[in-house]
Amino acid sequence: MEISVVSTRPFTDQKPGTSGVRKQVSRFRKTHYLENFVQSIFDSQKALAGAELILGGDGRFFNREAVQIILRMAAANGTRKVTVGRGGILSTPAASHLIRTRHAAGGIVLSASHNPGGPTGDFGIKFNVANGGPAPESVTAAIHAASLKMTHYRIAGAPHIDIDHVGHQTLGEMEVEVVDPVTDYADLMESLFDFPAMRALVRSGGFGMRFDAMHAVTGPYAIEILEERLGAAPGTVMRKEPLADFGGRHPDPNLSHARELGELMFGRDAPDFGAASDGDGDRNMILGRGFFVSPSDSLAVMAANAHLIPAYRDGLKGVARSMPTSQAIDAVAEAMGIPCYETPTGWKFFGNLLDDGRITLCGEESFGTSSDHVREKDGLWAVLFWLNLIAARGQPVTEIVRDHWQRFGRHYYTRHDYEEIDSGRAETLMDRLRAALPSLPGRQFGSLQVRAADDFSYTDPVDGSISSGQGLRILFEDGARIVFRLSGTGTQGATLRVYLERHETRPDQLDEDTQAALAPLIELAEEVADIRNQAGKEAPDVIT
Ligand code: G1P
Ligand code: ZN
């Protein structure tokens, strides 16, 4: 096998964001672009030499080409073995699971998550470490540093490698094992949940369910788990064929992108339970009949009911949420007498807490929840958790959530996204707001009094690392909050995210419209940040 050493020059835009490097496909197809980043991984992660690497992605456009390139580069960089999902496919949680069960030194996951795919869409690549989770900041910083001094990359000359049949082959000295992407993951799910009870529920004539795979990676996983193993009616999984461009739509599980599912669930004769996952299978949306479960509420309900699920029968060690996620789970943790950690946005910050045994369950407002069974958020896991809960409690989704609100109060919560803002203007908006923060504490806005205002900084309790500049917070005396941060996953301009929340405990005030219930806070956010003038935006582009 011939190894070429190819001269190249650094690209200055390969700093991993919230979740790896995400760019438009056209950028990734630039000569040497992908190769440079992959070589940066091998250059900075010496543990990969002589070890096993897991490789797979969500099947989007450019996934197959990227897999071929990475296999040849792994062989040229001394990797002992690469385990790759058949067809180059692995959902993000399935990749995390394989890294863990195979004791691999790490994994390369190819995905731009819920961003659109196809030749004019996005692509992404991220490195996961040996615990199965996204690389922590120290590792992404080392990869970035290596990318900035890149002078050459190594690649093996090899014919096309067959990734479409399960089995073993060699590439020079390196072993390549192609595995079924679904089986191990489906077995893991079966080990966590009460499949007999769930089977009885979905097979009972009275229960209807739909899962929208959004033409993304979870199609084959959902067919195997929901239709084959649990016996749900054929057709339960909608948009089940993975497509390289996700059928031209965003594989983003919310009510605008999972429109058909939403129409079904809010229409006449709606099924009892509806759910969806995203491009790479780590996000989830949960719906009851005519009812949307906010991701923050979903996390809190899961924590409060975890003892009903076989895997969590003995209770939770602790829980965690990302800072902008609502405080609904804090209330549950307090009642249960377990710790609740507040981390910056991004799954990588949960890794240490999970590895150290401090938490069992964690989640983010951005439709992500998971537990210590993997080191990524896990879309189908969340769907199965809810299904198990419905079976165990014998109640529909709506009742489960309403009971929860009666017990803990309701944390009205919304996120407003302002997309494709000029990056300079977005930075200026944040700078001005940051400068104004010290003047806010003690100020009264209508019935709201500011208790504190800061730029969120996190000290990891396990390794002591500090992550600062993680979002501007305005905290009110009554527990309400407004948080401002810029997205770290966007690929065009800047996206401003404004997160708004308030806690309501009056029993007759728990069924209000979310936007109406938060209207005073929404107005206040505009007043303090001057979004209209600073960002040139009349209204948010997306409200979740
Ligand atoms: C977004 C979400 C964040 C999530 C990340 C990866 O990041 O807000 O919670 O972890 O996608 O799925 P952002 O674009 O806000 O940086
Ligand atoms: Zn995702």
Would you say residue 18 has pLDDT above 80? no
Residue 374 CA to ligand 1 centre (angstroms): 18
What is d(CA 460, CA 31) in angstroms, rounded to the nearest whole number?
A: 38
Would you say residue 188 has pLDDT above 80? yes
Q: Ligand 1: which of 15, 19, 115, 483 to mutate, most ligand atoms within 8 Å of CB?
A: 19
Letter for the amino acid at 313? R
- Indicate the helix (H) or strand (E) that contains 542: strand 542-543
pLDDT at residue number 522: 96
pLDDT at residue number 67: 98
Active site residues: 113
Whether 70 and 42 have beta carbons less than 8 Å apart is answered as no
Ligand nearest to the CA of 281: 2
Q: Are strands 410-421 and 340-343 parallel, antiparallel or unpaired?
A: unpaired
Q: Ligand 1: which of 323, 366, 470, 498 to mutate, most ligand atoms within 8 Å of CB?
A: 366
Residue 366 CA to ligand 1 centre (angstroms): 7
What count of other Cβ atoms lies within 10 Å of the Cβ of residue 440?
Answer: 17
Ligand 1, atom 11: nearest CA belongs to which residue? 489
What is d(CA 517, CA 520) in angstroms, rounded to the nearest whole number?
A: 8
Q: Are strands 122-128 and 21-24 parallel, antiparallel or unpaired?
A: antiparallel
Ligand 1, atom 13: nearest CA belongs to which residue? 487
Letter for the amino acid at 403? D
Residue 456 CA from chain centroid, whole number? 21
Question: What are the tens digits of pLDDT across the range 286-320?
Answer: 999 999 999 999 999 999 999 999 999 999 999 99
Q: Are strands 448-455 and 458-459 parallel, antiparallel or unpaired?
A: unpaired
533: CB partners within 8 A, 6+ apart: none
235 or 158: which leads in pLDDT: 235
pLDDT at residue number 516: 95
Ligand 1, atom 1: nearest CA belongs to which residue? 489
Letter for the amino acid at 378? D
Question: What are the tens digits of pLDDT across the range 230-267?
Answer: 999 999 999 999 999 999 999 999 988 999 999 999 99
Atom of ligand 1 nearest to the CA of 495: 14
Question: What are the tens digits of pLDDT across the range 466-510?
Answer: 999 999 999 999 999 999 999 987 777 899 999 999 999 999 999
pLDDT at residue number 394: 96
Can you give the pTM of this predicted structure?
Answer: 0.94
Ligand nearest to the CA of 366: 1
Question: What are the tens digits of pLDDT across the range 374-419?
Answer: 999 999 999 999 999 999 999 999 999 999 999 999 999 999 999 9
pLDDT at residue number 256: 86
Mean predicted lDDT score pLDDT of the chain: 96
pLDDT at residue number 205: 84
Ligand 1, atom 3: nearest CA belongs to which residue? 346
What is d(CA 402, CA 32) in angstroms, rounded to the nearest whole number?
A: 54
Question: What are the tens digits of pLDDT across the range 169-182?
Answer: 999 999 999 999 99
What is d(CA 64, CA 81) in angstroms, rounded to the nearest whole number?
A: 18
Residue 204 CA to ligand 2 centre (angstroms): 32
Would you say residue 542 has pLDDT above 80? yes
pLDDT at residue number 389: 98
Share of the chain above pLDDT 90, in %: 94
Strands (E), 11-146: 21-24, 52-57, 81-89, 106-110, 122-128
Which residues face 475 on adjacent strands?
452, 481
What is d(CA 246, CA 31) in angstroms, rounded to the nearest whole number?
A: 26
Pocket, ligand 1, Cβ cutoff 6 A: 18-19, 113, 322, 345-347, 364, 366, 368, 487-489, 497
Ligand nearest to the CA of 471: 1
Would you say residue 158 has pLDDT above 90? no
pLDDT at residue number 279: 97
Q: Which 3-state string (H, E, C) describes 136-168?
A: CHHHHHHHHHHHHCCCEEEEEECCCCCCCCCEE
